[in-house]
Amino acid sequence: MVTSEKQLIADCLDGNHTAQKTLYQLYANKMLGICYRYTKTLEDAEDVLQEGFIKVFTRIHQFSGEGNFTSWITTIMVNTAIDYLHKRKKYRKDLNLDDLPIYMVSDDNPDINMDTKDLVEHIRNLPLSYQLVFNLVAIEGYSQMEVADILKTNINTIRSRYSRARAMLIVEIKKNELTQLNAYAK
Amino acid sequence: MLMQNKFEDIIKQQVGEFQLTPNAAVWEGIEAKINKKKKRRIAFWLWSGLVGVSLLGIGYVGMNTKSDINSNNVKAKEIVKGNTNPSDSKKISNELSEKFRLSTQKETIEKALLSKKDLSVITNDKRINHHSKISITVKEKVGGNKQSLVLNKENKIDKEAIVDSVKKENITSSSSEEMTSESKTDSVSKKDTQQLVVLNNKQAEETISTKDTIKTEKKKVKIFFELGVGTFHTKATLNVNQNSTLDLSNATTSGSIASNNEEKLTANSKTGFAFNGGVLLQKQLSSKWQLLGGIRYVYYQDKQTIGNRYISTNYTDDGYIYSLGNKETKSNYTHSLQVPIRFNYLVGRYLKQDFHLAFGGNIGYQLKSDWLVNESNNNYLYYKNSLNRNLFGSFIIGINTTLKNDFIVSIEAEQAITKLQKNDKINGKYKALFLKVGIPLRK
- Both A107 and A68 in one domain: the answer is no
> Chain B contact for A141, CB < 8 A?
yes
- Both B202 and B226 in one domain: the answer is no
- Both A128 and A155 in one domain: the answer is yes
- Both B241 and B313 in one domain: the answer is yes
Q: Which residues of chain A have pLDDT under 70?
A: 1-3, 97-109, 186
**Mean pLDDT lowest among B164-173, B234-243, B289-298:** B164-173
Are B14 and A119 within 8 A, CB to CB?
yes
Nearest in space to B7 (alpha carbons), one of A79, A122, A32: A122
- Both B110 and B252 in one domain: the answer is no
Domain boundary among A69, A91, A113: A91
In a domain, B98, yes or no: yes
Are B19 and A30 within 8 A, CB to CB?
yes
pLDDT tens track for B20-69: 999 888 898 888 888 877 777 777 777 778 777 777 766 665 555 544 44
Nearest CA-CA distance, residue B4 and chain A, Å: 6
CB distance B261 to B242 below 8 Å: yes
- Both B347 and B205 in one domain: the answer is no
CB distance B346 to B285 below 8 Å: no
> ipTM for the complex?
0.85
Domain boundary among A76, A91, A106: A91
pLDDT tens track for B357-407: 999 999 988 887 766 555 555 444 555 566 677 788 889 999 999 887 788
Nearest in space to B356 (alpha carbons), one of B441, B292, B414: B292
> Chain A contact for B37, CB < 8 A?
yes
Residue B184 confidence class, pLDDT cut points 50, 70, 90: very low
Closest residue on chain A to B14 (Cα): A116
- Both A55 and A134 in one domain: the answer is no
CA distance B140 to B113: 10
Mean predicted lDDT score pLDDT of chain B: 63
- Both A118 and A181 in one domain: the answer is yes
Query: Mutation test of the interface with chain B: which of A73, A109, A121, A170, choosing the one with the most B Cβ atoms within 10 A?
Result: A109
In a domain, B20, yes or no: no
- Both A102 and A181 in one domain: the answer is yes
Nearest in space to B345 (alpha carbons), one of B397, B284, B281, B290: B290
Residue B180 confidence class, pLDDT cut points 50, 70, 90: very low
In a domain, B405, yes or no: yes
CATH number of domain containing A134: 1.10.10.10
Contacts of B51 (CB under 8 A, 6+ apart): B295, B339
- Both B198 and B223 in one domain: the answer is no
For residue B373, what pLDDT is reported?
A: 55
B19 CB neighbours in chain A (<8 A) are 29-30, 32-33
Domain boundary among B210, B237, B259: B210
A141 CB neighbours in chain B (<8 A) are 12
Q: Which of A50, A54, A119 sits opposite B15 (nearest CB)?
A: A119
> Chain A contact for B38, CB < 8 A?
yes
Can you tell me the mean pLDDT for B345-356?
A: 84
Nearest in space to B182 (alpha carbons), one of B196, B169, B201, B168: B201
What domain count does chain A have? 2
CA distance B387 to B369: 4
Are A50 and B26 within 8 A, CB to CB?
yes
Are A112 and B10 within 8 A, CB to CB?
yes
Q: Decide which of B267 and B157 is more confident.
A: B267
For residue B309, what pLDDT is reported?
A: 35
For residue B385, what pLDDT is reported?
A: 63
- Both A46 and A113 in one domain: the answer is no
- Both A36 and A108 in one domain: the answer is no
Environment class of residue B254 by beta-carbon count within 10 Å: exposed (0-12), middle (13-18) or buried (19+)?
exposed
CB distance A162 to A134 below 8 Å: yes
Domain boundary among B210, B237, B261: B210
Of chain B, the percentage scoring pLDDT greater than 70 comes to 41
For residue B404, what pLDDT is reported?
A: 76
Domain boundary among A67, A91, A115: A91
CB distance B295 to B51 below 8 Å: yes
B2 CB neighbours in chain A (<8 A) are none
Can you tell me the mean pLDDT for B293-304?
A: 85
Which residues form the domain of B352?
Answer: 219-442
B4 CB neighbours in chain A (<8 A) are 108-109
Are A119 and B11 within 8 A, CB to CB?
yes
CA distance B150 to B152: 7
For residue A172, what pLDDT is reported?
A: 84
- Both A118 and A55 in one domain: the answer is no
In a domain, B45, yes or no: no
Query: Mutation test of the interface with chain A: which of B9, B12, B26, choosing the one with the most A Cβ atoms within 10 A?
Result: B26
- Both B206 and B231 in one domain: the answer is no
What domain count does chain B have? 2
Res B112 pLDDT > 60: no
A166 CB neighbours in chain B (<8 A) are 7
- Both B205 and B322 in one domain: the answer is no
CB distance B358 to B349 below 8 Å: no
Helix (H) or strand (E) holding B341: strand B320-350
- Both B84 and B164 in one domain: the answer is yes
Q: Decide which of B94 and B433 is more confident.
A: B433
A45 CB neighbours in chain B (<8 A) are 20
Closest residue on chain B to A47 (Cα): B26
Residue B160 confidence class, pLDDT cut points 50, 70, 90: very low
> Chain A contact for B19, CB < 8 A?
yes
Three-state DSSP class for residue A84: helix
In a domain, B8, yes or no: no
- Give how far the C-alpha of residue B331 lies from the chain's centroid of Cα atoms, to the nearest Å: 27
- Both A51 and A110 in one domain: the answer is no
Domain boundary among B167, B192, B210: B210
- Both B120 and B75 in one domain: the answer is yes
- Both B346 and B423 in one domain: the answer is yes
CA distance B361 to B340: 6
For residue B81, what pLDDT is reported?
A: 40
Nearest CA-CA distance, residue B385 and chain A, Å: 22
> Chain A contact for B30, CB < 8 A?
yes
- Both A84 and A110 in one domain: the answer is no
Are A33 and B20 within 8 A, CB to CB?
yes
Closest residue on chain B to A121 (Cα): B15
- Both A7 and A82 in one domain: the answer is yes
Are B7 and A108 within 8 A, CB to CB?
yes
Cα–Cα distances in angstroms (integers) from residue B187 to residues B137, B183, B206, in the given order: 15, 6, 20
CB distance B413 to B433 below 8 Å: yes
Cα–Cα distances in angstroms (integers) from residue A168 to residues A82, A162, B10, B70, in the given order: 22, 10, 16, 83
- Both A70 and A10 in one domain: the answer is yes
Nearest in space to A29 (alpha carbons), one of A6, A45, A9: A45
CATH number of domain containing B365: 2.40.160.20
Which residues form the domain of A144?
Answer: 96-185
pLDDT tens track for B300-323: 887 765 543 333 333 344 444 444
Closest residue on chain A to B18 (Cα): A33
For residue B391, what pLDDT is reported?
A: 83
- Both B290 and B384 in one domain: the answer is yes
Closest residue on chain A to B28 (Cα): A50
Residue B158 confidence class, pLDDT cut points 50, 70, 90: very low
Contacts of B309 (CB under 8 A, 6+ apart): B320, B321, B322, B328
CA distance A68 to A71: 5
Residue B102 confidence class, pLDDT cut points 50, 70, 90: very low
For residue A8, what pLDDT is reported?
A: 87
Q: Write out B178-208 in H/E/C secondary structure.
A: CCCHHHHHHCCCCCCCCCCCCCCHHHHHHHH
| Claim: this prediction has a pTM higher than 0.95 | no
User: What angle, rounded to 10 degrees, do the helices at A17-38 and A116-124 form?
Assistant: 70
For residue B374, what pLDDT is reported?
A: 54
- Both B108 and B151 in one domain: the answer is yes
> Chain B contact for A37, CB < 8 A?
yes
Residue B270 confidence class, pLDDT cut points 50, 70, 90: low
CATH number of domain containing A27: 1.10.1740.10
Environment class of residue A116 by beta-carbon count within 10 Å: exposed (0-12), middle (13-18) or buried (19+)?
middle
For residue B331, what pLDDT is reported?
A: 73
Closest residue on chain A to B17 (Cα): A30
> Chain A contact for B347, CB < 8 A?
no
